[in-house]
Amino acid sequence: MQRRTNVLIAAGAALGLTMTLASCGATGSGGVTLKLVAADYGASADDSSEKYWAEVVEKFEAKNPDINVEVTVLSWSDVDAEVAKMVKAGEAPDMAQIGAYSDYAAQDKLYPADELLSIPTQGDFLSSLTSAGEVNRIQYGMPFASSTRLMFYNKDLFKAAGISKPPASWDELAADAALLKEDGVKYPFALPLGKEEAQAETMLWLLAGGDGYTDQVGSYTLDSETNIKTFNWLKDNLVDKGLVGPVAPAELNRQAAFDAFSKGEVGMLNGHPTLIAQAKKKGIDFGMVPLPGRGGAAKSTMGVADWMMAFKQNGHRDQIGAFLDFVYSKENVLAFSDRYNILPVTNSALDAMTADGKYKQLEPFMEALPSSQLPPVGNTSWAQVSADIKKQIGKAVAPGGNPAAVLTDIQNKARAAEDAE
């Protein structure tokens, strides 16, 4: 049978950025059809993850004619919530590639990785990511992409404003932002606390301030005195002084901030490796350094992993395993990392990238990885807590906002979710 790939744009009223890659081949041929919901890593339709998955699916189906794969690609603003709706409605996809897995693992909805993957595939994951994918020492979350965060700054805008080097402390950062504003820069420091990735921007600042989301035993500490001081500083020294640009942090999403940086409108912002290619494409001359801490260098930065998981509902364990073994081949992991400038999640791909001078631009991120801290993804309450941070944290720095009250409210809900685990 002749096989073909169709790409459809779904027109659901609730989702503005929904792309569906239809299965290659007829679903009525007696084979199994797998459904995957995946996040979009592209900055535009031109480099949407839809294209990556189309290539992977076409190659996989050519080798596995009895397995069809349908991939729905959603923006990061929507993908976690959409998967949650599907699961709640009893319509879980076979696989989801999203931001959190542990709540589904706690509900016994996921296959353990060792019931899906071959031993070589599972053993190829970076050990730190394998452990982060575990609940009660069983791996359910399979890392799909990893990165760290650095502060990007526009060298041309710095030079025009008379700034000779990137800031090494918060005081210097605020002073530099003020100079950039005086020179007419639209976003002296872009602070994206919109729903797309507010939980990541928040964690970066909490770590730089000397604390984080949890204590040493993994219990939430969002409203610690140190964290409240961090958000008071952000509000008083950046937001209230008009140093974050014309869009309120609660309304500014990460990709919009990246787009503005690539247009030369942003002096500083926190970014991950995908911004490198986007900014270079637009001819931006930029530098990258760790986000400074309150009084100097921060003790650590944030590490991030996005997760692949497989739901048990449809019972396609063998077919899912075959597809994921293919997805995690060195060739495919390298292709994804290369396309989006994202750090690989497997040893084989990392070794290949480290040995290839083509990826020298990623070295600062690789260097930051060993000391980086991941969000508490192993907490089964994390998906709920993360969603609450996305909804509320922007209010902490809004006009008339009260950082202590907002952080305490998030903490109370986090504690309740934690107690319910």
Query: 24 is written with which tokens?
Result: 């290659």
At 58, is the secondary structure helix, strand, or coil?
helix
First to last CA, the chain: 49
DSSP 310: E
d(CA 193, CA 197): 7
Give this prediction's pTM: 0.74
Buried b (16+ CB within 10 A) or exposed e, 87-120: beeeebbbbbbbbbbbbbbbeebbbbbeebbeee
Largest CA distance in the chain: 68
Confirm whether 7-147+304-371 and 150-303+377-419 share one CATH topology.
Answer: yes
Residues 303, 305, 307: CA angle, nearest 5 degrees: 165
Using CB atoms within 10 Å of the CB of residue 409, give its burial: 0 to 12 exposed, 13 to 18 middle, 19+ buried: middle
Residues 272, 309, 16: CA angle, nearest 5 degrees: 60
Q: Select from 3.40.50.2000, 3.40.190.10, 1.10.10.1590, 2.60.40.10 the CATH code of 150-303+377-419.
A: 3.40.190.10
Q: Can you give the length of the chain in residues?
A: 421
Query: Per-domain residue ranges for the chain?
Result: 7-147+304-371, 150-303+377-419
CB-based contacts of 232, cutoff 8 Å, min separation 6: 403, 404
- The per-residue pLDDT string of the chain (421 residues; one tens digit each, 9 = 90 and over) reads 332 233 333 323 233 334 455 443 333 345 899 999 999 998 788 889 999 999 999 999 999 999 999 999 999 889 999 999 999 999 999 999 998 899 899 999 999 999 999 999 999 998 888 888 998 899 999 999 998 899 999 999 999 999 999 999 999 999 999 999 999 999 999 999 999 899 999 999 999 999 999 998 889 999 999 999 999 999 999 999 999 999 999 999 999 999 999 999 999 999 998 899 899 999 999 999 999 999 888 878 888 899 999 999 999 999 999 999 999 999 999 999 999 888 999 999 988 998 898 888 888 887 777 678 889 888 888 888 999 999 999 999 999 999 999 999 999 999 998 887 6
d(CA 27, CA 350): 36
Domain boundaries 7-147+304-371, CATH class: alpha beta
